[in-house]
Amino acid sequence: MGFHKRHSASLAGRGVLLLALLGVLLPALFLGYLLQSKWLKPLTIVEQIRDDGRLIAITTRGATTYFDGPNGPAGLEYDLVTAFAKELGVSAEFIFSSDNGEIAAKLRSGEAHLAATGTTPPDTTRKLYHGPVYQQVTSQLLYRSGHVRPVSIDQLTSGILEVPSGSSEDALLQQLQQSGNPDLHWTASDGTDFEQLMYLLDVEMVDYTVADSNLFAFKRRHFPKMRVAFDLDEPRLLQWLSAHSKDDSLNSEMNRFFDKIRDNGSLQHSIDRYSGNADNMPIAQSLTFWTFVAERLPLYELFFQEIAEQHDYDWRLLAAIAYQESHLNPDAVSPTGVKGLMMLTEDTAKLFSVTDRVDPQQSIQGAVSFLKFLDKRIPEEISMPDRLSFILASYNVGLGHIFDARRMTGVLGGNADSWPDVRQRLPFLAEQRFYSKLKYGQARGEEPVTYVDNILNYYDLLVWHTSFRYRNFDSPVASTQ
């Protein structure tokens, strides 16, 4: 019995010791698990963004950054930030500031994750992280055609040179003045933006202004009499900014994103959309367009507006189609017999009960009915803005040829629902090795490409024109340097 008692006591002691050890080890193991889990381990910046569901970016309102387009927000920085947010699996949210100090403060405080302002990072933000270079720009001196072109700063001793007060262009002129050009003088205006200054240059109220090359490339369609005199500085690098931190997850994702869009061509496509497309419209074409807008559009603008409202369309799109089709001439007739403001065929006119193709109202009504007819037959999975391009191309070359081009695009490894992919292959419709295998046969495939490009350009210009003409051009407060 003694042995059994001692053995039982020994087992009891060991049990107490084991429980004590477990009491120490289990909390330690659980604590270690928590430290390795997201509950106690600090979240990375990217994890915080994903948890919140938002990527917050600072930008500015402008033609090269963020503006209200015909189909909602647009602009190079808007497109890039939105695409980056999609890569992260979140939505993009924008706040606006053009003050460099405020931008830097908001990044450091965490109120914004990145700055995408479409400008060269200022010296005051050198403590911030600079993302990959995605574009190079120069500051350019602009003048109006018909005036003598200056070729150097020394020739700017007469005439009015005006820039927005406090802008990077204002700072550049101060730097040039202090570095050997004491006779350089200019006006710095408060409450004036570059679009207003380009307008003042266009109507000869100022002689010169300064703008970044990417802004000029985008705006030259709006002001076709603008010309570049010379560059004022060396090419500068455009980069996004973010706050430095021990956690480099956001910057790593940013680098990966730009590598991806650079490799797949979508970066250049986005840049071309806001600058390269402007180069596709020759100056003479742009001047002709503005002449017809001034002389002919007022004759039919009310018709466009009333009919567009009935069908929930943007009247400026209808006007852009009319300009492309007939140069806003209701009596226009083509060699193939299409006629009227919207250049309807006899078959299309009959289908939509148009009895007089040269009657402007009937022509517009028929065109809208035809556009809606085409819209119903474009696959639902194709969304805007690609959808609009497919509709316009079908209006031009026929729905059957567009279906052929989509099928051919898929066979050749492209995305049949993507207008850029189909656009690239539409010209193949004119080649026998391709059209001989297609249901609807041969077509002039280059024609719908140019047709869509032109209409979208005219549409953009009319959207800008109708918003710009109502802007307030009160005399700005100016100071002379």
The catalytic residue positions are: 325
Specify the DSSP element, H or E, that contains 189. strand 187-190
Rounded to whole angstroms, the Cα distance separating 419 from 447 reads: 15
- How many other β-carbons are positioned within 10 Å of the β-carbon of residue 52? 13
**Residue 477 φ then ψ, to 5°:** -80, 125
Q: Are 448 and 431 in contact (CB under 8 A)?
A: no
Enumerate the β-bridge partners of residue 188.
Answer: 163, 479
Rounded to 10 degrees, what is the CA torsion of 89, 92, 98, 100?
Answer: -30
Rounded to whole angstroms, the Cα distance separating 128 from 239 reads: 11
Exposed e or buried b per residue across 261-274, where buried means at least 16 C-beta atoms within 10 angstroms of its C-beta:
beeeeebeebbebb
Selection from 74, 415, 58, 61 nearest residue 270 by Cα: 74
DSSP state of 153: G
Rounded to whole angstroms, the Cα distance separating 220 from 227 reads: 8
Rounded to whole angstroms, the Cα distance separating 355 from 100 reads: 61
Show the beta-strand stretches assigned E in 218-275.
Answer: 226-231, 236-238, 241-242
Q: What share of the chain is helix, strand, coil (3-state, %, to 5)?
A: 55, 15, 35
- 377 CB-near residues (< 8 Å, 6+ apart): 394, 399
The token pair that represents 101 in the structure block: 């100090």
- DSSP line for 397-441: H-HHHHHHHHHHHHHTTS-TT-HHHHHHHGGGGGSHHHHTTSSS-
Give the CB-side neighbour count of residue 20, counting CA atoms within 13 A. 6
- 34 CB-near residues (< 8 Å, 6+ apart): 40
Q: How many residues does the chain have?
A: 481
